[in-house]
Structure 1
Amino acid sequence: MRRVRVDCHLHTVHSGDAVTTVERLAARVREERLDVVCVTDHHTLAGAREALAREIGARVVVGEEIRTHAGEIIGLFLTERVPYVLPLEEAAGRVRAQGGLVYAPHPFDASRTSLGAEGLERLRAMGALDVVEVFNAKMAEEEDNRRAERFAAGHDLPGAAGSDAHDPYGIGAAYVEMPDFDGPHDFAAALREGRVHGEFRDHAAYPAGPRT
């Protein structure tokens, strides 16, 4: 069975706090030999849709990183934007209603608006926690990733890895090598047979002048 390399969490300029254009994303996809990228900009699907239209050399999963009252979640395989700062259960329900997956990014990183154990348990209670990010390449504290890995294993949930790149340098810092998939159900199942690869990469330093 063909296996693919999937960066499950990254950002483009459409996030507002990221500097990667779709052109630079296409270049980095080739350099990092990625087969699939989940474009998960903050509160917009515009970057993912642009990447789809430009044919960047990798398959694109349309996603969105969504801030809720309880912390951030990611919706994958979306067709419609989910508004931000909704109650956690409502945001997750809107992801699920359009056939998407609810993905918990950097769940134990106290320096960001993460779900933590309480938010994860709330999603589990409503049967709406599909994927846990067990390796985030921007996580300086390795124990935070290990806690996520233990949580996923302890609750029989598939684990994913994402670069969380906000600049071109970070793309591909974390990915899952997994069986190829067709749609959200296959994606979640394939993650269970995947192998996580990752290294910590902080934001790259940029010289003065235009960023691309």
Structure 2
Amino acid sequence: MDRRAGRRQGRALGPGGTRRRDPGPGGRGAGERADQRQGPGRGVTWRLPDPGPVPPGRVRVDCHVHTVHSGDAVSTVEQIAKRVAAERIDVLCVTDHHSLDGAWEAVERDIGARVVVGEEIRTRAGEVIGLFLAERIPYVLPLPEVVRRIRDQRGVIYAPHPLDPNRTSLGAEGLRELHEHGALDVVEVCNAKISDPEHNAAAANFAARNDIPAAAGSDAHDPQGIGAAYLHMPDFDGPTDFLRKLPEARIWGEHRDHVGWQPGRGS
């Protein structure tokens, strides 16, 4: 285990810091949540309908955010804290490429939101995200080995931008492989860096057809991107509760220009 993980888990993983083994895929309604429409604004090519105010007992969750520790991102933890407050994000999943350092730093500095420690991992089949991790997973391992290591940590297996051809995504074949082996917990159906909404819609259709919970992430690599996509869902305590309540989530998102990023360069 990461030498810092033991003393940080309680603060990082949600109320109580509960760590339990997760159930298999479940949930419904992903296709409905990806009904994207045009929206105004600088750099906006699509925007989902506003899910409304967040009442007590529900939280806003951005499931996919990067810090400077990703190597291709520019957001410092201090900048993230300011954006979390501005965007009213309650839970932030910090998912740097091949590093947990940014997530642990966000936990230590108290950014004003609960932090889920995650990692975006490049496998030989494409990228996957592990959520609720305690230990870094090396990159370019075979997909089954990455799945095993996430499961060994009782983490959540999350498919980011799975059908975006401009990224090192899993693609249809990788999604099917994970699903057939019972190793696909969550499909990202709203990624705010995707300019063509059809790629998000295709992911939503896959999730809906296969009854897999759907999620949203800004995939922010700069401060302005944080909160560009999020879940509006019941509050949760640890990975099992997150998956149990995910089918009740509403999804909001909009495409935002990301500074210094071009399709095919970083993800």
Which TM class, normalised by the smaller chain length? over 0.9
Amino acid at match of 1:49: W
Q: How does 1:52-201 map to 2 (within 5 A)?
A: 52-201=107-256
CA deviation vs aligned residue, 1:145-172 (integer Å, no higher than 9, x gap): 0001011111111000000000000000
1:82 aligned partner, one-letter code: I
Show the counterpart of 1:47.
102
| Structure with the bigger percentage of strand | 1
- Return the letter of the residue paired with 1:72: E
Instruction: Show CA shifts across 1:50-95 (max 9, x none).
Output: 0000011000000000000000000000000010000011101110
**Mind listing any 5+ residue stretches in structure 2 that lack a counterpart?**
1-55, 261-267
Q: Which has the higher contact order (CA 8 A, sep 6+)?
A: 2
| Letter matched to residue 149 of structure 2 | R
RMSD over aligned Cα atoms: 1.1
Other structure's SS at 1:31 match = helix
Residues 119-150 of structure 1: CA deviation (Å, up to 9, x unaligned): 01111122110000000000011000000101
Hey, what's the Cα distance between the residues in 2 that align with 1:21 and 1:178?
A: 27
User: Is contact 1:134-1:160 (8 Å) kept?
Assistant: yes
CA contact 1:69–1:87 (8 Å) conserved in 2: yes
Stretches (4+) displaced over 3 A: none
**Residue of structure 1 in register with 2:88 after alignment:** 33
> How many residue pairs align between the two structures?
206
Look up the equivalent residue of 1:112 and give its one-letter code. R
CA distance in structure 2 between the partners assigned to 1:191 and 1:176 by the alignment: 9
Q: Quick check: 1:163–1:173 contact (8 Å CA) kept in 2?
A: yes
1:9 aligns with 2:64: yes
- Looking at structure 2, the residues matched to 131 and 78 of structure 1 have their Cα atoms a distance apart, in angstroms, of 15
Q: Percent identity?
A: 68
Q: Cα deviations across residues 169-193 of structure 1 (Å, max 9, x unaligned)?
A: 0000000000000010111122110
How far apart are the structure 1 equivalents of 2:123 and 2:211? 24
Query: Following the alignment from structure 1 to structure 2, what is the Cα–Cα distance between the partners of residues 153 and 177?
Result: 18
Return the match for 2:74 from 3, 14, 19. 19
State the AA in 2 paired with 1:7.
Answer: D
Higher Cα radius of gyration: 2
One-letter amino acid of the counterpart of residue 6, structure 1: V
Query: Alpha-carbon deviation of 1:204?
Result: 3.1
